Structure 1
Amino acid sequence: MSLSRLFRTPEAAAGLVILGLLVAMAVAAPWLFPRDPLAIAGQPLLPPFQDWALPLGTDRLGRDVVAGLFHGARTSLAVGLAAAAASILVGSIVGTVAGFAGGLVDEVLMRITDAFQTVPGFLLSLALVSVVGPSLSVVVAAIALSAWTGPTRIARAEVLSIRERDYVASARVIGMHPVEIAFREVLPNALPPVLALSSVIVAAAILTEAALSFLGLGDPNRVTWGGMIAEGRAVLRSAPYLSVIPGIALVLSVLGVYLAGEGVVEGTAAREGQA
């Protein structure tokens, strides 16, 4: 897909620009701020623009806010992409098996999916992290556990439609194994609508990770935007920038991911329409 198609609307262009900045921050963080972002960098509660070595000031412990923003972008992007990849992988497999097998297998798998959907995603993530313990891998697994049901339902619906097509019947006639037919012939054609959910899952994962960190359930060894917002609560009246700056970064990142995803979907739909 060409960039001109992705930039066909102002919303998509803005989303891609924001997403590009987020990726640039995440990639550049180790080079621009090689020190531990949790280390003390100056006097505590230094306001923004008072010291150009610390342009956005410091928090209550004297940690650099800019370094926290850049390293927090790495955490948010890593969690969002990993959770989206895991949930789409699990959802695609479960949806393909349910839709292609049908019968009792389909019924059992979809009832399990229904059971997970009855529990609010954030509460499920909160419960798992509380029981297992806060770490980046546990946070990713918890978010994926609450997000796989959407891709499952979409994959199943697509597979139910595709499995009756002529090329699938031809594959059965020549003796291909049902598992090979399902994952080699059917699943690749069912994936595009599932992948369209990626931006929504990434955005939701970034928000969920921030919420868990805000509650003190994020990885304690990593800087997170939710943790920075929580850190600023105690001095919200005297130093509101400690919560406002990472809050703005969080909102812009989620908005950028969502708008960029919408741009990709619209560009794909336009290309298919012209075809």
Structure 2
Amino acid sequence: MNIKKIIDRAKKVIINDKQLMFGILGIIFLLVIVIFAPFISSQDPYYFGGDILNKVGENGHILGTNKMGQDVYSMIIYGARTSLKVAVISALISGILGILIGGIAGFFGGKIDQIVSEIINIFMMLPTFFLILLIIALFGNSIINVMIVIGFTTWPSNAKLMRAQALSLRERTFVKAATAMGETKSQILFKYIIPNGIFPVIANTTVGMSNAILTEAGLSFLGLGDPNTISWGQMIYEGKPYITSAWWVATYAGVAIVITVTIFYLLGDGLNHVLNPKHMTKRGV
């Protein structure tokens, strides 16, 4: 199959699934903001000392200023970088852990599967957000710690999906044939099981990115975010005391979170439709 045919099929799939199309367009929009932030922003978001609590459009500030004189519009632009960084890195950690742990449990089975399944069940019973709060309180609230702890506490859902895929795939004819030809279990796991069972995990991980953004915003709103990093949650936290007198400080950051989370949900849901085996067979993908 040549590149042109692959591109044509991808275009057909994207056009036929509106959720996926809007999700991809939204991601492109966010990436443009992140890449060209220095050119899109009107001022340095880290600059203190300007006019405090300027209203929307006052003194050249498109969305006003906060209590420190920082330009809210520029902070929104740079806050997108933080949100996408948290979403991508935490989702990668969660996805890689889930794929490896779930794949090993489902493929090898037996005692390994029983132990891993119990660990997954324990993690899924724990109140994740409160566990994150505890870890952040113990090890600090730097943005790196936030990303790592979100990734390490959200892998069980990916592991369950990968385990279910591995349980099904290990009974397929091509896996049996690979075993008969003398390939090792590790070779089969990484050559056949994971590549063929990864698609539901990809869709779930994309949805998990939106949850990571909400988690980071929630931590910042509670005052547990990184104070040295501009983030939308931090903006809401700082604007909370001024919600009646300077509503713009927190409101626009909240709108940015809603839009970004919606984009990731659309992308994840669209990928879930497209990567569903029944959907792929029906459309001949």
Give the TM bin, normalised by the shorter chain: over 0.9
Q: 1:239 to 1:268 in 2, by over 3 A?
A: same
Structure 2: stretches of 5+ with no match in the other structure: 1-8
**Counterpart selection for 2:120 from 82, 93, 113:** 113
Residue 23 in structure 1 maps to residue 31 in structure 2: yes
Ranked by relative contact order (alpha carbons within 8 Å, sequence separation 6 or more), the top structure is 1
Residue 135 of structure 2, aligned match among 123, 128, 131 = 128
Q: CA deviation at 1:10?
A: 4.5
> What residue identity is the alignment partner of 2:156?
T
Contact 2:200 2:275 in 1 (8 A): no
- Note if contact 1:50-1:57 (Cα within 8 Å) is conserved in structure 2: yes
Q: Is the 8 A contact 1:124 1:142 kept in 2?
A: no
For the aligned residue pairs, the C-alpha RMSD in angstroms reads 1.8
Per-residue Cα deviation, 1:99-118 (whole angstroms, up to 9, x for no partner): 11111111111111111111
Match of 1:149 among 149, 156, 161: 156
Does structure 2 conserve the Cα–Cα contact (< 8 Å) formed by 1:163 and 1:186? yes
Q: Which residue of 1 aligns with 2:107?
A: 100
What residue number does 2:56 align with?
48
Residues 93/133 of structure 1: CA separation in 2 closer, same or farther (3 Å cut): same
Task: Normalising by structure 2, report the TM-score.
Answer: 0.90
Q: Identify the match of residue 165 of structure 1 among 144, 169, 172.
A: 172
What residue in structure 1 maps to residue 5 of structure 2? none
Larger deviation: 258-267 or 167-176? Answer: 258-267
Deviates more, 1:33-42 or 1:161-170: 33-42
Rounded Cα–Cα distance in structure 2 between residues aligned with 1:220 and 1:176: 52
Deviations 1:222-249 (A, max 9, x none): 1000000011111111001111110001
Q: How big is the shift at 1:33?
A: 4.3
Matches within 5 A, 1:1-275: 2-33=10-41, 37-40=45-48, 42-52=50-60, 54-269=61-276, 270-275=279-284
CA distance 1:28–1:95, shift in 2 (3 Å): same
Between the two proteins, the alignment pairs up a number of residues equal to 274
Q: 1:69 to 1:107 in 2, by over 3 A?
A: same
Q: State the TM-score, normalized to the length of structure 1.
A: 0.93
Q: Secondary structure at the match of 2:141?
A: coil
SS in 2 for 1:59: coil
Letter in 2 for 1:253: T
Same amino acid, percent of matched pairs: 34
Deviations 1:61-95 (A, max 9, x none): 00011111011100000100111111010000000
The change in CA–CA distance for 1:272 and 1:78 in structure 2 (over 3 A counts) is farther
What amino acid is aligned across from residue 56 of structure 1 in structure 2? Answer: L
Paired letter, 2:205: S
Shift of residue 149, structure 1, vs aligned partner: 0.3
Most deviating of 14-23 and 99-108:
14-23
| AA at the equivalent of 1:50 | E
Distance 1:67 1:41, change over 3 A: farther
* SS of 2:58 mapped into structure 1: coil
Shift of 1:137: 1.5
